[in-house]
Chain A
Amino acid sequence: MSEKLHLVHDVLDKMVLDRDKHRLGRVDTLVLQIRGDAPPRVAYMEMGGAAMCSRLGRVGRALATWIGSRGRETPRQPYRIAWDLVRQVGPAHVVVDTDVETSRTTAWERWLAEKIVARLGG
């Protein structure tokens, strides 16, 4: 990883790959942790529909709230990957130490694959 990392330039909106280089999604938001008098530090990256909508103005934020609270008493947080899991920030990808097969960000991809695509012979 380079010594200087511009979070918006080099990380935000970049494609995220798992440890086997499978696509997980994009870095939709970045969250900094405020730690009293200590300097803020990058806590995690957020991904998925709710995180994405939160960047799209008032309508998008309302949509993000709706996505997070659908059918739940306590709103679900967007999918987060701790910054500690980042292994590489390359020119085209961010590689993280996680697995696409168990990742929540690809849960509905797996649901679609099992419930619909498999029935269509795909």
Chain B
Amino acid sequence: MASISLRHLRKHYAAQTVLHDLSLEIRNGEFVALVGPSGCGKSTLLRMVAGLEAVDEGEILLGTQRLNEVAPRERNIAMVFQNYALYPHMSVAENLGFALRLQGVRPAERKLRVDRVAHILNLQELLARRPAQLSGGQRQRVAMGRAIVREPQAFLFDEPLSNLDAKLRVQMRTEIKALHQRLGTTTLYVTHDQIEAMTMADRIVVLRDGRIEQVGTPLELYDRPRNAFVAGFIGAPAMNLLAARAHEGGRVLTDDGLQLPLPAGLRLAPGHAVWLGVRPEHLQVTSADQGLRAEVQVLEPTGAETQIAARLGGQNVIAVSRERIDLRPGSALSLRPLAHQLHVFDQASGARLN
């Protein structure tokens, strides 16, 4: 196991810059998730750490070893690919043992280590099968087994769950997390699914257009997003962002005339254009005299909670209530944002103001 340091990385494809001066420290044994919309450079970054893409500027360190000029095979890093990339002409056992065979590990020891990994991942029954005879989840497990069996310094995951169905994805999420807790290997995990990142990672790195927007623990990112992009990206359903202007007396006026309180202690020049962010669970359903009038558009009960898509002034908002709500589309309801849970972002720069 080792830490991974990325220092002032840059990457260009022809005239286009994919990564801009990116620096990140991944501690020994840490599970770090890279999230961001497609094209943000997260897979490129992962492939640079793997050695599958060249580093244009900056350096990558594994522990104290500089990796820039080291071939992928000498990096002692294992990678799980999005499409699994299992060798179709080899059995599961051969797939698992391939790296060991290349290392010159004796057949007896190889079998021992393959069996051990098969036991961890519950693959014992499948060792003689070819990848084509496996289901998606089984293939996924073999791909992980192939990474584990080498006992590498670090794991890289490139959207490993995106080809699985929803139920299996949740199950594999738990398995990967349990595996990390058991092995404690430094892990870099790329995903576009922020729920995966939230549930699995020790720390999350949010990328946009080749720049880091924020690094932090899942709850730091959720509770105190550094800018409007992170606020909108982390959390499902996404944070409501209302366009508003600062007003006299510690209040803001939304563009369609609703008056809302500002978080305590925040002083803004009148007229300052802001995004007012409020998470769906902080938009409470109240009695008519206490809140803002909204019109129900869609109700989505999930059993445990109810999602309410409503029209507040001229803007669409989503509220989540733990209560069972019986309302028809088109009917009125009152919503009250919790003042101490409000997020305020500058409209021009997107930066957090409170």
The answer to whether A binds B is no
Query: Which positions in B face A, CB cutoff 8 Å?
Result: none
Query: Which positions in A face B, CB cutoff 8 Å?
Result: none
